[in-house]
Amino acid sequence: GRYADCLVNVYLATMVFLFPGGYTQWIFFYLSVSHIYIYVYDHYRVLRVVPRATFSSMNIDFCAQALLAPACGILLVAIIFKGNCIAGSYCLDAAPLLSACFFAFLAHCAIHIFLLSCLVPLFGLREKGYRKDAKKYSEVAASEPCSWFSANPIHCLRSKFVFNHSPPCSYFMAGLESKMEVNESIGCFFKENATVVEDARSYYMPKWRDVNIFLKKSTGATQSG
């Protein structure tokens, strides 16, 4: 997905600062090109290919932002590592320098995630209470045949042969909704309402006699004309 691609690119770009520079500007140029390509591709995919998307919570977005904490920590480690023994700066041996980089990385990640969890939500707009138009699961499941239970064939088999539910959870198949049975104790609420089926026998089907009458009328009209 978009988050994984962007995170991998950011991690690769930040780790470059730990090595001797020379092509840093080109790396970030191609990083920008890569992100533009990812954005254009996702924009096309979401608008033209993906039939439906469900965003039940912001957990994935929060995890993606939290995973950027180590990337920023790597930048701090690069600053400490590259600033060692520069004129007018500190000068540490290998072991103290490694310890300083390690604890700076951990401290940054802890502060980053703390601010992300406690400070950032203070600037967001939150709805107070539940939505007024929210429905219960039983209400939605009564109108939607495809649910987490009915769309899972393993769950339906387990319901029938392991738990011996009566009736068991019906497996959802498009066009066979009328075969699904209700068992509210296991979360199955859907039952298709009886529909009026058209009777083909009620349609008027022309007979050969009608065709002959039509041809005679057409011929008579032509001759009179």
Does the pLDDT at position 99 exceed 90? yes
Closest-CA residue to 124 (of 193, 26, 58, 35): 58
Distance, CA of 108 to CA of 55 (rounded, Å): 30
Least confident of 91-95, 175-179, 203-207: 203-207
* pLDDT, average across residues 24-44: 86
Q: What is the mean pLDDT of the chain?
A: 83
Which pTM value belongs to this model? Answer: 0.52
Q: In this predicted structure, what is the pLDDT of residue 202?
A: 64
Phi and psi torsions of 193, nearest 5°? -70, 150
Q: How far is the C-alpha of 6 from the C-alpha of 34, rounded, in Å?
A: 9
Please report the pLDDT score of residue 169 as a whole number.
92
Q: What is the mean pLDDT of residues 7-11?
A: 86
pLDDT above 60: residue 1: no
